[in-house]
Amino acid sequence: MNYLKFILLLGLTACELSRAREADTGQQAGPSSNPVHPALFTHHDRYREGRITHRRFKHRDLVPLLDSLGKDARFRVSPAGTSAEGRSIHLVSAGGGPVKVMLWSQMHGDESTATMAMLDMFNFLRTSDELDPVRRAILEKLTVHFVPMLNPDGAERFQRRNALEIDLNRDAVKLQSPESRILKRLRDSLQPQFGFNLHDQNHRYTAGNTAKPATISFLAPPYDHAKSVNAVRGNAMKLIVGMNRALQAYIPGQVGKYSDSHEPRAFGDNIQKWGTSVVLVESGGHPGDTEKQFIRKLNFVALLDALHAIAGASYERENQEDYYAIPENEKYLFDLVVRNVLVKEGNVQHLTDIGINRYEINAPGATDFYYRSQIDEVGDMSIYYGYEEFDARGMLYQCGKIRKDPFRNITALRKEDPMALLREGYSGVRVKRPVTPFQLRDIPVNVVKNARQCPTAPALNLIPEFFLTGGDGTIRYAVINGFIIPLDGQTTNFKNALVLN
């Protein structure tokens, strides 16, 4: 191969050229030299499956993509079984090497990030470009088996559990669900040396006691309560060390280690016990990435980098002890923290912090969602952080009023200036005809059905709707459904108001 011509024609960097030569010749450099992940990260857009752009895609969106893949001679797409409600579950296989690897995603129906990354991986493996040496190493040394969307019934509802309301990741022993039996049968028949158990986790987890979200977390699941380490689990730890190193280039300080408490019913723990080196991957949160498209890219990079490490056996040279240096998942993040708010109740006044979280509520059909926020902490929040933080020092908490005269319908409400309503201290209005939260995406005022008492102070579990006033009594900011709205014309990331009883 003429590498000089290759680099001139295809724009390889010197580092990428060295990586390609290493993969093509089978040379094994140290685990940290000439990694493949920079090229994977740089060129991800080439392979990104453009027909899937949001988390709430369904089985009906996935099947045509897999049917198309089945027409490619480089892949073998076969039925693995059906879900409780009869939806097909597929096994996608590629490569012909002696080392077997199995990846399964979306055993929890609302954890779809890795399924999106799998689709991108399929496109990578079926493309021919300057990264051919990397894909050749994977396909010649490995046989890779993918199970995308193990829980299609849960995906239909965008919920964790399956249609039988069973958590598949707590069903490895009794195998009460058809989806669990499929996964167990595949593991036993394929006997993979390596497995990747792919999940999503709460976006409020942090990497240790820091303000940084645990955007990706790893775990080599323990196979007993003593958290013993044998060669099988040790290999998973070594793989994680390399994956962590790769991701630090893109999300420094944002990789965590998932809780290693042994769960006897879990698939990861049991598959580790059955002799497959299992890596648990949990996709958390990243600022501004609600639909997890950047985290999808990180999954693509980390998983292919790991497959390449298995193909070249470079993971064997990793220091297993470095696994323990990855900070553990903690939960120190809120969606919004409002600090130093002055609250007056009668003759008593005090400063407080308010921690607010926004929860996604599925629309009918679970293809969309709206936010319903809640106050989850009040008081001294000095040890906590927010994706958004606002210092309200010098400002007074004021509860919102309900406008007395109702609007006839949503059209009439749209004709009203919502910022004028907020400046007058109205956080809620009445509308005679039914309204949904989706109609309130551009109207930052709640629709209230019944009269209710105005809360004079923030309290746990309340929907956050209040105002922050300056020393002269002028309202400067509104907080509506957990979104802070400046009343001086500044931009805001407001998503939707609510319909309240």
Count of CB atoms within 10 A of residue 234's CB?
16
Supply 82's token pair: 């059906």
- End-to-end distance of the chain based on CA atoms, in angstroms? 71
Tell me the CB-side half-sphere exposure of residue 229, using CA atoms within 13 A: 12
Rounded to the nearest 5°, which phi and psi values hold at 294? -70, -40
Helix 3-10 and helix 14-25, axial crossing angle in degrees, nearest 10: 130
Q: How far apart are CA 107 and CA 162, in angstroms?
A: 8
Active site residue 388: no
Q: Is residue 399 helix, strand or coil?
A: strand
Residue reference for tokens 């993971």: 315
Burial of 476 from C-beta contacts in 10 A (0-12 / 13-18 / 19+): middle
Count of CB atoms within 10 A of residue 424's CB?
10
Write down the catalytic residue from 49, 85, 165, 263: 263
Strand partners, 398: 467
Strand partners, 219: 280
Q: How far apart are CA 373 and CA 360, in angstroms?
A: 9
Q: Of 434, 429, 427, 421, whose CA–CA distance to 480 is shortest?
A: 427
Q: How many residues does the chain have?
A: 501
Q: What is the rounded (10 degree) CA torsion for 378, 380, 383, 386? A: 40
Q: Is residue 359 helix, strand or coil?
A: strand
Supply 153's token pair: 């019934």
| Contact (Cβ atoms closer than 8 angstroms) between residue 145 and residue 100 | yes
Q: How far apart are CA 103 and CA 493, in angstroms?
A: 36
Which residues belong to the active site?
263
